[in-house]
Amino acid sequence: MNGSQGTYRNTDSEERPDRSLGITRRTFLHKSFLAGAAGAATFGWFPLINTIDLAFGAESFKFAWLSDTHLYPKDVNTRFVEKTERAVKEIQAMQPAADFLIFGGDLAQLGDPVELDLGNEILKQVTINKVFIPGEHDWYLDMGAKWEQLFGKPPWSFDHKGVRFIGLDTVSRAPDYWSIKKMSPKERMGHMATLDGSVAGPWAGVGHDQLAWLNSALADLAQDAPVIVFSHNPLYEYYPPWNFWVRDWREVHEILQPFSNVTNIHGHTHQVLYNEIGNLRSIGMLATSWPWPYAPEGVPILTTPHIRADPGDHFDGVGWAQLDVTAAGRVEHEYMMWRKDILAEAPWDSGTGDNANQVLRPRIADRQWPY
């Protein structure tokens, strides 16, 4: 198989050629991890690995992804704090250590400085390099002021062991719906923090200025060099009403199109997701806070959905992720979901199986009143 082929593995290591795309897809559950890593059995890890070929990973290394912790102040609830702390301890315990941690946004729930400071404190337990991109929950109380003070200004890019990493900001460029309605910062944040709200609308986007930046950030790069793009929102159109997209994804694809090995790693969707459009692969990461249901439509056909989460166990359906770039030039991605079974085999266990016979319509109450 050549460098542009994507693979996706399963328990039985059964190869299933995907004729429509001319690629080979395999999926397996990485059982060795249970026996190998200290504490893995205790935590009930049973990670899923996505293996993606990258042509030019020069040297093998690991990095970790953590996002969507949605921290409230401790006096409101501590369950999200506990889960973030658990993930942070596990990341810090990785053997060998990860080269860096990417935090993918939605550290806070309501952009409260108390929440962001709390997150910053917890993340200090991770002593490897850390890079950050914001989520909408971090941004819209003070328009990113506290975020930038703590974590710096997106976008950014760096080269690491033969891979160009890009961090995008897909949240800060929402059209201004608040000024004309004279909303307070709290009201603005409230609308932004409501996934199915209709006031903020499909706000996610990269924006002209950042598109230009992205173009120049890749200008010097060989077209067959591997690129990994981090974004909070997915860089394709999955389900705009919940901002499971960026509105200018076509322009993003246009810029990335000349490069043969681009992997987008994103948060925001809080669920197992995989997609390929042209040369661009997208992998959706888990949240530590709670899993979103699969959208009623638009779930990529290449996604093997995760199993339904148990709503009575708030450690279920959530977690973090570990990504390896191997010497052979592949990115292996493991969902560290805190449960035994991750993937659904039968439709009745599947998160997307819930969509059967379900027809939804968007809410209207938040538009009727008080605005």
Residue 295: CB minimum distance to other proteins, A: 8
In whole angstroms, give the CA distance from residue 81 to residue 167: 25
Residues 152-186: b if buried by 16+ CB within 10 A, e if exposed: eebbbbeebebbbbbbbbbbbbbeebbeeeebeee
In whole angstroms, give the CA distance from residue 102 to residue 240: 25
296 binds other proteins (CB under 8 A): yes
Residues 108-144: b if buried by 16+ CB within 10 A, e if exposed: bbbbbbbbbebbeebbeebeeebbbbbbbbbbbbbeb
> Considering only 68-76, 95-103, 155-163, 246-254, which stretch makes contact with Fe ion by CB under 5 A?
68-76
For residues 100 and 290, which CB has a smaller minimum distance to other proteins in the complex?
A: 290
Out of 77, 127, 184, 257, which residue is the one contacting other proteins (CB under 8 A)? 77
Binding mask 249-288 for Fe ion (x = CB under 5 A): -------------------x--------------------
Site residues (CB under 8 A) for other proteins, limited to 111-130: none
Site residues (CB under 5 A) for Fe ion, limited to 75-114: 106
363 binds other proteins (CB under 8 A): yes
Beta strand 129-132 pairing with 100-103: parallel
For residues 1 and 356, which CB has a smaller minimum distance to other proteins in the complex?
A: 356
Out of 292, 320, 335, 338, which residue is the one contacting other proteins (CB under 8 A)? 292
> How does DSSP assign 247-314, residue by residue?
TTHHHHHHHHTT-S-EEEEE-SS-S-EEEEETTEEEEEPPPSS-PPPPPSS---TT--PBBPP-TT-T
> Considering only 21-29, 136-144, 257-265, 323-331, which stretch makes contact with Fe ion by CB under 5 A?
136-144
196 binds other proteins (CB under 8 A): yes
In whole angstroms, give the CA distance from residue 89 to residue 104: 17
Site residues (CB under 8 A) for other proteins, limited to 239-258: 241-242
The item of Fe ion, other proteins, none sharing an interface with residue 348, based on CB under 5 to 8 Å by kind, is other proteins
Residue 309: partners with Cβ closer than 8 Å, 6 or more residues away: 291, 316, 317, 318, 351
Out of 26, 160, 253, 314, which residue is the one contacting other proteins (CB under 8 A)? 314
Positions in the binding site for other proteins (CB under 8 A): 72, 76-77, 79, 109, 194-196, 241-242, 290-293, 295-296, 310-312, 314, 348, 354, 356-366, 368-369
